[in-house]
Structure 1
Amino acid sequence: MDARATVDSMLRADLRGRTAYGAPQLDVAVALNTNENSYPVPDVVVEAMTRAVEVAARGLNRYPDREFTALRGDLAAYLSRSGTPVTTEQVWAGNGSNEVLLHLLQAFGGPGRTALGFTPAYSMHPIITTTTGTAWVDGMRGVAGAGAFDLDAASAVGQVRQLRPDVVFLCSPNNPTGTALDLDTVVAVHDAAEHALVVVDEAYAEFARPGTPSALTLLADRPRLVVTRTMSKAFALAGGRLGYLAADPALVDALRLVRMPYHLSTPTQAVARAALAHADLMLDTVDVVKDQRDRIVTELARMGLDPVPSDANFVLFGGLADSHVTWQALLDRGVLVRDVGIPHYLRVTAGTPEETTAFLDALAALVPTHAGAAP
């Protein structure tokens, strides 16, 4: 028996044959496939981070603050800027929002339990769910007469009542569609999921168009509701790996049962706190990115394609005869976008004006031979 067969024979049965997550990491001129912020961390913030890590390095012989209390306080203060007070006791953090989601599923999922998500949505939700031995169910997003990627509240409520899941994932703005949820839908799903944890993934909340609500406003008196966020996108800190959530203090306390001791390193805490201390500067590029996102929507519509209006820092667009062929043709022109597995659709991150121009020019040259399929 060869090594692969030996490993497969020992692997959990529900993981055999699965493919690991892996967006292409290629050396290209224009990388617009993973929804990163194209703008580098400002020099003044880099200097602040460097000083903070230098100070922290002197104490690396000691374990980090297990409760990361100062960081949680800074995150609470940042969230409270929206007008909804959030306390330190309501905040939890991890090495990226994926680890935060993992903690939630370790605590509230597991063998014999089920998680429901309305696909297409964030591809890591089912992957993380499966790693905890939790059963995953793909819920239906669109309904007849509504937008193909809209989540219909009545349909979602019906699915929740029928399936009776233990965990429900809502994504607003949704990845990969960019569409946001109204709060009535969130409340309806929460109330229908009578005994379930309801997780609202708001990784792209800072890019939402004016008037788009946040589920943070719903947390009071809803101990089953969680709102997850990240510093990877709007804060341009994808390499820093810092995700977080807001929830009832009792739920936060339960996560201590599953986290690994000292899971947030001292340098990670120092870098994140330095970024939060310069939040306004770190978020300076958000409006620029939103302008490019809206530019992409407008220009793709002019090309005769089918862009989905977005509240995130990316645009899903359809109308392609063969999405993978177009993906490869763009890559051949030095532009990397994301094939999300939806026939006739691709997703592109809104980058700098120059990156947007490069993408639009490359796609415009392809449209005469690559468009034509009805979305």
Structure 2
Amino acid sequence: MSAIPASLPLRNDLIGEEPYGAPQLDVPVCLNVNENPYAPEPAVCDSIARRVREIAPTLNRYPDREHIELRRAFSTYLERESGAKLDVDELWGANGSNEIMLQLFQAFGGPGRIALGCDPTYSMYPEYARDTFTEWRLAHRNPDFTLNVERTVEAIREVKPAMVLITSPNNPTGTPLDMADLERLLAACETASVAGAPEGVHPVLVVDEAYVEFRNPGTPSAVTLIKDHPNLAVSRTMSKAFAFAGARVGYLAANRGIIDCVRIVRMPYHLSAVTQAAAIAAFEHTDEQLSRVAHLRETREATAAWLREQTYKGEPLKVAESESNFLLFGGSFDDRDRIFKELLKRGVLIRVVGPDGWMRVCMGTDEEMARFREALVEVLRLVEA
């Protein structure tokens, strides 16, 4: 709980609000924030240290405001990872994809503007909207968490948002977005109006691909559509699959016009020289950084199958279909807070998030997942007794 004195002139709309954040607890098994559980290899650490050492004597100077070398690294990586050939001016970096999203809200949101999401979805989106005085509206997903395309297209036409936010794979459910459905959303955005904007202004469709490297092999990425769709913005991150959460590096792929809009609102020299150096070093070891992704994907599939074999009050657990590095499971937990606390007592931290009755677990190491399975069996027996 925050302890903000009543004497401080906090904005009226923020009174009573709590800071966002998943629990940060010192427990043996942390499976709640969707990190890659495997540390960078020693060779990667050595390259990061070398790169940082090289730029250390220049830290009395501001960094490259446009981070050109890093944007070239983004371009090289996306061509390899998704087959998309993007120019430097179609890419932009920031301190995690959270800052990318905030910059998009700063550029396209604001008083009188509307952002549309599809719930259940990432819980930070309404906070970005709140912080930028943007109205937040929702089009509900289907019961199986797939996108209700018809409902979303109808909402785009009726609500007239400046931004439409789609997460693929979705957080907290892991649900991917079919490319044909994405094309339908793009078509809707490219003809829809924006409330309060002049005629001819259309919504920006933002696709958040924070977990996209965990998708099933052969599944295309939204970045392959950028050249043909000037109102498409795709957010990526190095935090998840790339095992770089502590470095805080996210990036945006979009038409140059969108990038230039974001450049208007970015803080001066927002990306430090140290961050840029570390990220470039990590891209020099792309194979090592992504070496565990296939195994984590296999762990996800094995864990999903195991969870579906477990029961709660005589019924099998439900598991949402996922192409991320986490699973939403349960569906019928009538006291998920108790389950969370009992798991925590056993040294296992997962997340109470998503619709009522559901919980989310991130894929950890083999040893961590074994401990999770053991603890969950104990806890389910306990709460059913």
What is the alpha-carbon distance in structure 1 between the residues aligned to residue 262 and residue 156 of structure 2?
A: 24
Equivalent residue for 1:98? Answer: 98
What is the alpha-carbon distance in structure 2 between the residues aligned to residue 344 and residue 369 of structure 1?
A: 17
Secondary structure of 1:6 counterpart: coil
Equivalent residue for 1:126? Answer: 126
When structure 1 is superposed on structure 2, of 289-298 and 10-19 the one drifting more is 10-19
Alignment partner of 1:309 out of 321, 331, 353: 321
**Which AA in structure 2 matches 1:5?**
A
Equivalent residue for 2:269? Answer: 262
Instruction: Please tell me whether the aligned partners of residues 228 and 245 of structure 1 are also in contact (alpha carbons under 8 angstroms).
Output: yes
**Which AA in structure 2 matches 1:367?**
L
The offset of 1:321, in angstroms, is 2.9
Equivalent residue for 2:344? Answer: 331
The offset of 1:371, in angstroms, is 6.6
Instruction: Please tell me whether the aligned partners of residues 238 and 245 of structure 2 are also in contact (alpha carbons under 8 angstroms).
Output: yes
Identity %: 47
Alignment partner of 2:172 out of 164, 176, 184: 176
Instruction: Please tell me whether the aligned partners of residues 139 and 151 of structure 2 are also in contact (alpha carbons under 8 angstroms).
Output: no
Give the TM-score of the pair, scaled to structure 1: 0.94
Equivalent residue for 1:18? Answer: 17
Against the structure 1 CA distance between its residues 12 and 78, is the aligned structure 2 distance closer, same or farther, given a 3 Å change threshold?
same
Instruction: Please tell me whether the aligned partners of residues 322 and 343 of structure 1 are also in contact (alpha carbons under 8 angstroms).
Output: no
What is the alpha-carbon distance in structure 1 between the residues aligned to residue 114 and residue 16 of structure 2?
A: 21
Q: Does residue 46 of the first structure (1) align with residue 59 of the second (2)?
A: no
Give the TM-score of the pair, scaled to structure 2: 0.92
Instruction: Please tell me whether the aligned partners of residues 180 and 212 of structure 1 are also in contact (alpha carbons under 8 angstroms).
Output: no
Secondary structure of 1:53 counterpart: helix
Instruction: Please tell me whether the aligned partners of residues 321 and 371 of structure 1 are also in contact (alpha carbons under 8 angstroms).
Output: no
What is the alpha-carbon distance in structure 2 between the residues aligned to residue 127 and residue 138 of structure 1?
A: 14
Superposition pairs for residues 340-359 of structure 1, below 5 Å? 340-359=353-372
What is the alpha-carbon distance in structure 2 between the residues aligned to residue 221 and residue 341 of structure 1?
A: 34
Superposition pairs for residues 90-239 of structure 1, below 5 Å? 90-142=90-142, 147-193=143-189, 194=192, 195-239=202-246
Instruction: Please tell me whether the aligned partners of residues 172 and 353 of structure 2 are also in contact (alpha carbons under 8 angstroms).
Output: yes
Which string of whole-angstrom CA distances, capped at 9 and with x for unpartnered residues, describes residues 220-270 of structure 1?
231111000000001111000000010001211121111111100000000
Against the structure 1 CA distance between its residues 295 and 109, is the aligned structure 2 distance closer, same or farther, given a 3 Å change threshold?
same
Which string of whole-angstrom CA distances, capped at 9 and with x for unpartnered residues, describes residues 11-43 of structure 1?
223222222101100000100000011101110
Which string of whole-angstrom CA distances, capped at 9 and with x for unpartnered residues, describes residues 73-108 of structure 1?
000110011212111111001000010111111111
Secondary structure of 2:253 counterpart: strand
Gaps of 5+ in 1: none
Which string of whole-angstrom CA distances, capped at 9 and with x for unpartnered residues, describes residues 24-74 of structure 1?
000001000000111011100000000000011011011000010000000
Instruction: Please tell me whether the aligned partners of residues 232 and 239 of structure 1 are also in contact (alpha carbons under 8 angstroms).
Output: yes
What is the alpha-carbon distance in structure 1 between the residues aligned to residue 15 and residue 354 of structure 2?
A: 21
RMSD of aligned Cα (Å): 1.5
Instruction: Please tell me whether the aligned partners of residues 305 and 371 of structure 1 are also in contact (alpha carbons under 8 angstroms).
Output: no
Secondary structure of 1:257 counterpart: helix
Instruction: Please tell me whether the aligned partners of residues 320 and 345 of structure 1 are also in contact (alpha carbons under 8 angstroms).
Output: yes
